[in-house]
Chains A and B, each alone.
Chain A
């Protein structure tokens, strides 16, 4: 599955890019699977996704939980907890 990944705030800084299009392995089914897979893609990814339970996700511009399915996602954003307001 080809999906566009977006990174924000310190996730973007650690990964070193704001977005990328990746072909995901077929055995990834949830957001948690995706985060675990990304962590293994290199030291910069390990730095961004190494701490469990910190990075949040949105699929097609809606917040989702780690157990959410990524099937059919066009755009997955990964970011730290929000700090607006």
Chain B
């Protein structure tokens, strides 16, 4: 169970290998990767966060997932800094005995992370305008369904 906030890109294969190295108890690994969409004339995106709280909050979200599902391993990696369309933003990996727990926990982690982890996105468009990304109501609804 671990969380990381970093500027650098991540490699999904490397992360999964590291998480499952030497484990023969795991029967299912689910990965989710969020990437930057290049729609609405997006040129780049700057991600800022609240150092310290971000890591704490991600760890709390992960602990909650571990309490709800029989996870054997999990990982959350979230990038900060300037990202371009197509770049990776976030990685969630969950591992369990059978697939259902891993699938559900991965979805839960993403839904909770989106409404609780203190990250803020600022978009720069190709015509030079900058704007803070507004929260989406659908994200709030997605998180509420787990209550």
Residues on A lying within 8 angstroms of B by beta carbon are 6, 8-10, 58, 61-63, 77, 79-85
B63 proximal to A (CB < 8 A): no
- Inter-subunit contact B50/A84 (CB<8 Å): no
Taking A9-B132, A10-B132, A61-B56 as contacts, is the C-beta distance between A83 and B50 under 8 angstroms? Answer: no
Interface residues of chain B, those whose CB is within 8 Å of chain A, are 34, 47-50, 52-53, 56-57, 78, 89-90, 110, 113-122, 132-135, 139
Residues of B within 8 A of A62 (CB): 53, 56
B52–A83 CB distance below 8 A: no
Q: Is the CB of A85 within 8 A of B119?
A: yes
- Picked from A58, A63, A85, the residue with its CB within 8 Å of the CB of B110 is A85
What is the CB-to-nearest-CB distance from B119 to chain A, in angstroms, rounded to a whole number? 3
Residue of chain A at shortest CB distance from B54 = A84
Further contacts, 11 of them, CB under 8 A, given A84-B47, A84-B118: A8-B50, A58-B53, A61-B52, A80-B132, A82-B135, A83-B119, A83-B135, A84-B49, A84-B78, A84-B114, A85-B89
Q: How far is the CA of A80 from the CA of B134 in the complex (A)?
A: 9
CB contact under 8 A between A8 and B48, given known A82-B120, A85-B34 = yes
